């Protein structure tokens, strides 16, 4: 099953033969007339298996009617809710309030969805095992909607969250369980990039979330780029999903036409990117994988923040590749990642 979208590019001649400019693994084709042909039956990841019992329940909510964008709210199921009482609230009859983890999925800004089985499995684990209320947001994909469309959608999501907090959470799940004083923005790959941009916008005062409060942000192997290659990019370890050609293609498809990899949307320290020295960034957890070609760029991001005096923790997973958590949500590395994120979230919570 395929679907075509996007109008012909401005200035395209109707007499010129249409040719394929970009073809990503048969999932996306960008044609010379500006048309995008996208397979709607595949997202580029092996379908994840699920455990026999689910640790969380979920529901979908429209958060951006203008673009018909949805988010999925996860809350711990009854079997795992008892774990939420690690802090205790003094009332055995009332369910404990939980930190809110806003999650953005990966996919190079070009593929993936909040309801894809792999990302769904990741959010099930995060909700049930941290535990937390997880808000997993969809966003518009490139090349039909190039950056900063995804970042704009994330800002809309923040506005939705702010409205929920200001109204005392009209959504009953959030009203019952959400602790808006402990909000974390998180994401893997492209989603980690989005979480960074949200943290910068909030820390710069360009975006507000009050009366909610951001306690930290979590970048899982974030999708950053730059014209100058890092060592790990130049060495280009043979990842099962993200290779250097795939990485470069995602950059071309997601950036505005003609932009280089130093564009502020992808390079947080590019020549036109905002300086971060004076930005009040919340504490950050940056997770990298040993065999990820983006490893050095993400580690360099953490090092730059640390040099500025920003609170940041870097954790490296030995023997792993880019995207190991959504690729295998129920594996041993996923188990350890849950422990790392839990320690960060509840460690921050205990200090707030």
According to the model, what pLDDT value does residue 77 have? 85
Torsion region of 283: left, alpha or beta (phi above 0 gives left; psi -120 to 50 gives alpha): beta
Which residues, listed in sequence order, are joined to residue 289 by a DSSP beta bridge?
317
Cβ(134)–Cβ(186) under 8 Å?
Answer: no
Q: What is the pTM of this model?
A: 0.91
Q: Domain coordinates of the chain in residue numbers? A: 58-82+94-346
Task: Tell me the three state secondary structure of residue 58.
Answer: strand
According to the model, what pLDDT value does residue 101 have? 98
According to the model, what pLDDT value does residue 39 have? 85
Closest CA to 220 of 107, 351, 350: 107
Sheet containing 69-76: which strands, arranged edge to edge? 56-64, 69-76, 133-137, 98-104, 178-188, 214-220, 284-289, 312-317
Cβ(71)–Cβ(44) under 8 Å?
Answer: no
Measured from the Cβ of residue 144, the count of other Cβ atoms closer than 10 Å reads 19
With tokens 């979920």, the residue in question is: 58
Task: Please give the backbone phi and psi of residue 265, each rounded to the nearest 5 degrees, phi first.
Answer: -65, -30
Give residue-wise pLDDT tens across range 88-118.
Answer: 444 455 678 999 999 999 999 999 999 999 9
Task: List C-alpha distances in Å: 7 to 11, 102, 139, 152, 278.
Answer: 11, 32, 20, 21, 41
Is residue 41 exposed (0-12), middle (13-18) or buried (19+ Cβ within 10 Å)? exposed
Cβ(191)–Cβ(106) under 8 Å?
Answer: yes
Regions in the chain scoring below 70 on pLDDT: 1-15, 41-54, 78-94, 348-352
Q: Which stretch of DSSP H or E encloses residue 67?
A: none
The two three-digit tokens of residue 33, written as one number: 């007339």
According to the model, what pLDDT value does residue 133 have? 98
According to the model, what pLDDT value does residue 170 have? 87
Give residue-wise pLDDT tens across range 205-253.
Answer: 999 999 999 999 999 999 999 999 999 999 987 778 899 999 999 999 9
Cβ(344)–Cβ(313) under 8 Å?
Answer: yes
Active-site choice (189, 204, 232, 236): 189
According to the model, what pLDDT value does residue 10 have? 36
State the number of CA atoms in the 13 A half-sphere of 199 facing the CB.
32
The two three-digit tokens of residue 271, written as one number: 């020549």
Cβ(6)–Cβ(38) under 8 Å?
Answer: no
According to the model, what pLDDT value does residue 84 have? 46
The two three-digit tokens of residue 21, written as one number: 């400019």
Residue 232 falls in the annotated catalytic set: no
Say whether domain 58-82+94-346 belongs to CATH 3.40.50.2300: no
According to the model, what pLDDT value does residue 11 have? 38
The two three-digit tokens of residue 95, written as one number: 């369910």
B/e letters for 50-80, b = 16+ CB within 10 Å, e = fewer, are: eeeebbbebeeeebbeebebbbbbbbbbeeb
């Amino acid at each position: 099953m395929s679907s075509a979208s996007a109008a012909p590019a401005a200035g395209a001649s109707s007499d010129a033969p249409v040719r394929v400019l970009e073809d990503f693994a048969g999932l996306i084709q960008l044609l010379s007339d500006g048309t995008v042909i996208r397979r709607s039956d595949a997202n580029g990841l092996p379908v994840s298996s699920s455990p026999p019992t689910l640790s969380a329940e979920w529901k979908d909510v429209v958060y951006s009617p203008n673009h018909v964008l949805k988010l999925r709210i996860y809350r711990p199921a009854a079997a795992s809710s008892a774990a939420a009482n690690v802090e205790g609230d003094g009332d055995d009859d009332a369910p404990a309030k939980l930190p809110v983890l806003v999650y953005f999925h990966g996919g190079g800004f070009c593929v993936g969805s909040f309801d894809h089985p792999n990302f769904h499995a990741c959010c099930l684990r995060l909700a049930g095992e941290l535990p937390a209320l997880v808000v997993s947001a969809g966003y518009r994909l490139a090349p039909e909607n190039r950056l900063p469309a995804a970042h704009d959608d994330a800002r809309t999501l923040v506005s939705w969250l702010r409205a929920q907090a200001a109204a005392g959470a009209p959504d009953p799940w959030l009203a019952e369980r959400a602790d808006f004083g402990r909000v974390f923005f998180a994401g893997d790959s492209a989603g980690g990039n989005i979480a960074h941009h949200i943290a910068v916008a909030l820390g710069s005062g360009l975006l507000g979330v009050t009366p909610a409060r951001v306690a930290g942000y979590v970048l899982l192997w974030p999708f950053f780029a730059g014209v100058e290659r890092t060592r790990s990019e130049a060495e280009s370890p043979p990842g099962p999903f993200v290779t250097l050609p795939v990485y470069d293609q995602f950059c071309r498809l997601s950036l505005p036409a003609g932009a280089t990899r130093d564009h502020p949307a992808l390079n947080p320290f590019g020549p036109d990117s905002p300086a971060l020295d004076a930005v009040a960034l919340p504490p950050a957890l940056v997770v990298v994988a040993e065999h990820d070609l983006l490893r050095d760029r993400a580690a360099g991001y953490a090092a730059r923040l640390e040099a500025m005096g920003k609170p940041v923790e870097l954790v490296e997973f030995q023997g792993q590749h880019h995207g190991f958590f959504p690729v295998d949500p129920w594996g041993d590395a996923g188990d350890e990642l849950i422990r790392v994120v839990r320690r960060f979230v509840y460690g921050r919570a205990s200090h707030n």
